[in-house]
Structure 1
Amino acid sequence: MNAATSNLVISIGAMQVARKIPFDDPQVLNYVRVAYVVVQLAVLGVYYFITSKIKAKNDQTVLKYVEAANPMTKEPGKLVTTTNRDYDLTEVSKAMRGVWIGIAMMAFLHGYMKYTQPLFIQSLMGLKNLYDSKLVTIYIMGKPAEGDLKRPFKGAGGLLGGGSEPQTDKAAIEEAEKRIGKKDD
């Protein structure tokens, strides 16, 4: 089961469980609020820890790939030349940005709109997303960056698993380098 499908299944299951929770009770609501805050702080803490591990490791191995082309435009993908360190820091930054956006949305949904069920659901999803993170697998669980964990990471894809992924083959990189050379002339 891919990540999008498992997220959907967990969300639907959590919604069913959330219906049974008595959010009208102020004590229960406070417990759910505390759980949400603790989970979000834990997720951010793990990402900050991973950032420090990436910086300490300082892997300067050159990484070249062609970004997946945007299906909405006819432009080909662009060539990216970076290091493993910079790539991983960019990925951690994206993950942390996602957490902060989720916190902002939850502040609006719960603080302004007074919805309570999303607090419970997002507590579970925060832990699930942390578990699915490839950087957590590499830097916390200590697995080598091979196979599915090889950089650049493949896109998550949609519900059916279809997603464009970066091209790392030599032919695609050479083709992108030729395009760049032609544009500079």
Structure 2
Amino acid sequence: MNPAVQNLVISLGVMQVARKIPFDDPDVLLYVRIGYVSVQVLVLGIYYYVSMAIKSKNDQTVLKYVDAPNPMTQEPGQLVTTTVRDYDLSETSKLLRSAYMGIAMMAFLHGYMKYTQPLFVQAIMGLKALYEATPVRVHLLGQKAEGDLKRPWKAAGGMFGGAAGGPQTDNAAITEAEKRVGGTSKKDD
């Protein structure tokens, strides 16, 4: 099943369960808050541990790919040359930013708007996102970086199965991007 559709189905199911929870009871609300905070601390702690694991492995293997082009412009994708260590750290950093944005959103929704159901839903979805995170799968769960887990990692498709237009790793695309970079640098001189 498409991950976006799967997230939607799980969210709707968890929201139905959340409707049955008596959030008016202060004890129940306290436990839901504790559960949410515990999940967020767990998520942030695991991302920190994954970052430390990446740094300790210090894989300096060169990784070249052509980044996905911006769909809003006609410009082709840019050539990216990095190391496996730096790539994995940047992807883990994106996951951390996403977690922080979720925490900020929940602080607004629960702290200011006084919504309680999203605490329960986001605690469950946070665990699901943690399990699906590619750096976690590779560096914590020990899965090989092959197949779907081969670097550079592809972004999930859209809601209706549309391709995400991930990075290109074929030699033809890399050679073409190197020619463009070489051609533009000569024009600038």
TM above 0.5: yes
Structure 1: which 5+ runs fail to align?
A: none
The 3-state SS of whatever aligns with 1:64 is: strand
The 3-state SS of whatever aligns with 2:81 is: strand
Looking at structure 2, the residues matched to 21 and 167 of structure 1 have their Cα atoms a distance apart, in angstroms, of 47
Identity of aligned residues (%): 67
Looking at structure 2, the residues matched to 96 and 148 of structure 1 have their Cα atoms a distance apart, in angstroms, of 22
Looking at structure 1, the residues matched to 16 and 72 of structure 2 have their Cα atoms a distance apart, in angstroms, of 37
Structure 1 residues 72-116: Cα deviation after superposition (integer angstroms, max 9, x where no partner): 110100000000000000000000000000000000000000000
Looking at structure 2, the residues matched to 53 and 2 of structure 1 have their Cα atoms a distance apart, in angstroms, of 29
User: How many residues are matched?
Assistant: 185
CA drift at 1:66:
0.3
8 Å Cα contact 1:88-1:135 kept in structure 2: yes
> What letter is aligned with 1:17?
V
Structure 1 residues 13-65: Cα deviation after superposition (integer angstroms, max 9, x where no partner): 01111111100000000000000000000000000000000000000000000
Looking at structure 1, the residues matched to 131 and 2 of structure 2 have their Cα atoms a distance apart, in angstroms, of 13
1:163-174 aligned at under 5 Å gives the runs: 163-174=164-175
CA drift at 1:160:
2.2
CA RMSD of aligned residues (A): 0.7
CA drift at 1:136:
1.2
> What letter is aligned with 1:175?
E
Residue 180 of structure 1 corresponds to: 181
Looking at structure 1, the residues matched to 66 and 160 of structure 2 have their Cα atoms a distance apart, in angstroms, of 23
TM-score normalised to the size of structure 2?
A: 0.96
TM-score normalised to the size of structure 1?
A: 0.98
Alignment pair present for 1:43 and 2:43: yes
CA drift at 1:161:
2.6
CA drift at 1:141:
1.2
CA drift at 1:2:
2.1
Looking at structure 1, the residues matched to 173 and 112 of structure 2 have their Cα atoms a distance apart, in angstroms, of 49
Of residues 168-177 and 157-166 in structure 1, the stretch that sits farther from structure 2 once superposed is 157-166
8 Å Cα contact 1:154-1:166 kept in structure 2: yes
8 Å Cα contact 1:36-1:122 kept in structure 2: yes
8 Å Cα contact 1:3-1:132 kept in structure 2: no
Residue 96 of structure 2 corresponds to: 96
Looking at structure 2, the residues matched to 138 and 27 of structure 1 have their Cα atoms a distance apart, in angstroms, of 39
Looking at structure 2, the residues matched to 91 and 146 of structure 1 have their Cα atoms a distance apart, in angstroms, of 17
Looking at structure 1, the residues matched to 54 and 5 of structure 2 have their Cα atoms a distance apart, in angstroms, of 30
1:143-182 aligned at under 5 Å gives the runs: 143-162=143-162, 163-182=164-183
Alignment pair present for 1:85 and 2:85: yes
> What letter is aligned with 1:144?
K
Question: 4+ runs of 1 displaced by more than 2 Å?
Answer: none
> What letter is aligned with 2:182?
G
The 3-state SS of whatever aligns with 2:169 is: coil
> What letter is aligned with 1:78?
Q
Structure 1 residues 112-152: Cα deviation after superposition (integer angstroms, max 9, x where no partner): 00000000000000000011111111111111100000000
